[in-house]
Structure 1
């Protein structure tokens, strides 16, 4: 009995010693979920809501529709409301103006995060995997909705407060500039390889990111 108690105490002491270290280690791993796409079915429900309002009230302009949807999703924090409130105001306006394109943008986001995880084992923040994620997102958007609309949605995504630093310690403004640059590179690649499959595009973007002469940029390894 005493032996078992002693072993239990030793386990507890060891856990106390290890836990803070694990917390510190976790804090040093910065993950970029800014492009995490929503569940496609849930996002489709949101687009259906927009379409219903537009069809029922063709006289409403985009600002009025935005006001209505914002009001509809003020009191809730989960599900569809969570998706809507995670968008920038500029993204919301584009969802209203181009609802079907917005669905494809969400598809491209999911492709981007999935392929980044596949190629790098994670979705990082400010690093090479971040550059890849933005590159393939814009490449896929260019294929799905065209270069012009892809630029609109990508730029709208970056229309957010950039005061202060991100969790990796680098200025939010530097992250925005990095993302805008990599978005543009991705669109060019998408336009030049508009027949590529998702797998082929992932390889093309990955090879470019890993090239010594890459056009992509990142803030740190």
Structure 2
């Protein structure tokens, strides 16, 4: 083949390859864009459907049942299952019976920031609910009550954050705890944010939940946390402990 013909053939082949590559890239971009739109729609629907800790309680029960039949399922498969359950109206049609322990004082409707996090991290949201449930039960065990603005309140928030740190890591725990206080204000907010931070500062590495509860008790008893007395922030103490 002559050199000029060889050059023309080379450029023709290069143009064909470039055309195919551009077409493939265009299809890939279109597919990615469609995927992003669908993902955004799913998150929006999840935010609209999952609006309370009671909803998370239901999802916790549903996930438990799924894991019984799918032991060892990776988190992404758990997430796909939970999202599918919500998208198909599971929360509206479910017949899960919630016990008193599923309703957590201080953890009622999810605010807008919590709903965004739940939509982005459904399995993490269920874990956060479980940590809140365990913290509430531990509070009642140690104080006989689940109070507000008192030592038991400080214990609950500190405990919740320590448990979240153990289960989902310190940064994720901080994100959820901060989101929970998004609509709070004044002394209430300062009290909770401080106690949340104390909880995340507890060493939870290799610790059982019972050991974490004891560490939280010491923090509250030794004045490391805050409560509200006569509309003023004061340090916590050992008052109210029954355990």
Give your verdict on TM over 0.5. Answer: yes
- Identify which of 110, 128, 131 aligns with 2:154: 131
- Identify which of 188, 193, 201 aligns with 2:212: 201
1:51: Cα distance to partner? 4.1
What is the SS of the residue equivalent to 2:228? coil
Matched, 1:215 2:215: no
Q: Which residue of 2 aligns with 1:182?
A: 195
Deviations 1:50-98 (A, max 9, x none): 846967xxxxxxxxx9xx89x9989xxxx89x99981111111101111
Matched, 1:141 2:172: no
Q: Which residue of 2 aligns with 1:121?
A: 144
Cα distance, 1:91–1:51 mapped onto 2, change above 3 Å: farther
Question: Over the residues paired in the alignment, what is the CA RMSD in angstroms?
Answer: 3.8
Equivalent pair of 2:82/2:122 in contact (CA under 8 Å) = no
Equivalent pair of 1:138/1:154 in contact (CA under 8 Å) = yes
Alignment TM-score, normalising by the size of structure 1: 0.59
Tell me which structure has the larger Cα radius of gyration. Answer: 2
Matched, 1:42 2:55: no
**Cα distance in 1, alignment partners of residues 195 and 214 from structure 2:** 16
Q: Which runs of 5+ in 2 are unaligned?
A: 1-51, 67-77, 230-238
**Cα distance in 1, alignment partners of residues 135 and 108 from structure 2:** 21
**Cα distance in 2, alignment partners of residues 53 and 142 from structure 1:** 23
**Cα distance in 1, alignment partners of residues 108 and 91 from structure 2:** 8
Q: Which runs of 5+ in 1 are unaligned?
A: 1-35, 56-64, 163-171
Q: Which residue of 1 aligns with 2:127?
A: 104
Deviations 1:119-155 (A, max 9, x none): 0000110011111000000000000000000000001
Aligned residues: 159
Q: Which residue of 2 aligns with 1:10?
A: none
**Cα distance in 2, alignment partners of residues 130 and 98 from structure 1:** 27
